[in-house]
Structure 1
């Protein structure tokens, strides 16, 4: 993979939903980041993601899966110029996921009956996933093959994850009669409407739950209250607006739904550890 990515950074590829990541140094501290639903496989090095009080370590032996968008505290633990941190991120296509589940239900391990699943897990990296990943990477520098054969291999990779020991955690978010699916639907709604005024009572109604049940299940999936989750989504969106769209802090705050610049700055500093202006001077691309 070093040949595909000779310098540190994040690289999109012609293989659908595949991103390559390289870092030549460890991170001195954890960094807030939001991951969309994805499969994150480390080829070399080690990284940790913290959600609430739980740490998820993924390395050459274990891969990370997110079923829903989640705000994490991430840190690269092992990396150097001589032995860089190398990883691939495969964004989960919901349509492909549902299609695979319908096609493969009889061959997949039965899900347990627990009412709700956490939206993140780490699983052992098997030889089947390793072999599929090797083929995927072989298509990266072949544009024609990447779009066709690469797409087929991505679907195969997703099947192996679904068929794995913890694949039922991912499948739970595709079943409409499960609380996990209802919470995932609400999270997707928040992702599309975070700039608007959102009431928790309306979210609970959308999930067809009482407010107390909704709070319980939402926190079980995200390790966060609905209000805190919405706030974190808004702050990350504002950060992206400043970092990639060159918006001022005031414009970014207003764009994501803040009416008070001082409140935005205060909550931004609480999440990211520095003020918006200082963060823009120090920021690098998230890995």
Structure 2
């Protein structure tokens, strides 16, 4: 199986998992703190909001986040990271009954960000580069693996308290070391 086929297989697995838990339109809150699934069967009008720190990975559909005249488009196979509270306008661009917009949102709290940032800085050679606090990147197999493990914890709630924080820490670390880290590191 090629790398592209492996990536596609992981994307399909995560999409199926999230779809099984995102039964209703709108935001579906899970038993894992900070993990939400968003579903919409139709495009939605722009919504003004304060976006808190989060990873948003689109599994189906397409969305745009606008901030001070700059647009961040992302769809299947891509994710958005917002590292700080930012005023944004969000709009779901592509969604249908047959293939609803489906998004996994992982909200981060300041303690999680501070802990991983501190540890990451100790191992990073990229100490002085900063970014805008928001970016879009391609999903890779490493992040997909961690997200799949996190969502699968919903099947074993007895493991959530111990394992979810570890997987979330791993996801934060993977974002910090992602390919954008080579060019314009976003300090979480």
Query: TM above 0.5, one fold?
Result: yes
How much is the aligned-residue C-alpha RMSD, in angstroms?
A: 1.9
Whether contact under 8 Å (1:109, 1:163) holds in the other structure is no
Tell me by how many angstroms 1:79 deviates.
Answer: 1.0
Whether contact under 8 Å (1:41, 1:89) holds in the other structure is yes
Please say which structure displays the higher CA radius of gyration.
Answer: 1
1:2 equivalent in alignment to 2:19: yes
Whether contact under 8 Å (2:53, 2:81) holds in the other structure is yes
**TM-score (structure 1 length as normaliser):** 0.55
Choose the corresponding residue for 2:111, options 71, 82, 95: 95
Counterparts of 1:117-266 in structure 2 under 5 Å?
Answer: 117-167=131-181, 169-171=185-187
Q: Write the distance in 2 (CA, Å) between the matches of 1:70 and 1:96.
A: 18
The aligned residue for residue 126 of structure 2 is 110
What is the total number of aligned residue pairs between the two structures? 169
**TM-score (structure 2 length as normaliser):** 0.81
Q: Write the distance in 2 (CA, Å) between the matches of 1:109 and 1:59.
A: 31
Secondary structure of 1:65's aligned partner = strand
Whether contact under 8 Å (2:132, 2:186) holds in the other structure is no
Q: Write the distance in 1 (CA, Å) between the matches of 2:33 and 2:124.
A: 25
Bigger relative contact order, structure 1 or 2 (CA pairs below 8 A, ≥6 apart):
2
> Runs of 5+ in structure 1 lacking a partner?
174-287
The aligned residue for residue 14 of structure 2 is none
Q: Write the distance in 1 (CA, Å) between the matches of 2:125 and 2:24.
A: 40
Secondary structure of 1:145's aligned partner = helix
Structure 1 residues 98 and 26: CA distance shift in structure 2, 3 A: same
Tell me by how many angstroms 1:140 deviates.
Answer: 2.0
> Runs of 5+ in structure 2 lacking a partner?
1-17
The aligned residue for residue 66 of structure 1 is 82
Q: Write the distance in 2 (CA, Å) between the matches of 1:148 and 1:46.
A: 33
Tell me by how many angstroms 1:55 deviates.
Answer: 0.5
The aligned residue for residue 33 of structure 1 is 49
The structure that is helix-richer by fraction is 1
Structure 1 residues 60 and 109: CA distance shift in structure 2, 3 A: farther
1:57-95, Cα deviation, whole Å (9 max, x unpaired): 122222111121111111111111211111111112222
Tell me by how many angstroms 1:148 deviates.
Answer: 2.1
The structure that is strand-richer by fraction is 2
Secondary structure of 2:24's aligned partner = coil
The aligned residue for residue 29 of structure 2 is 12
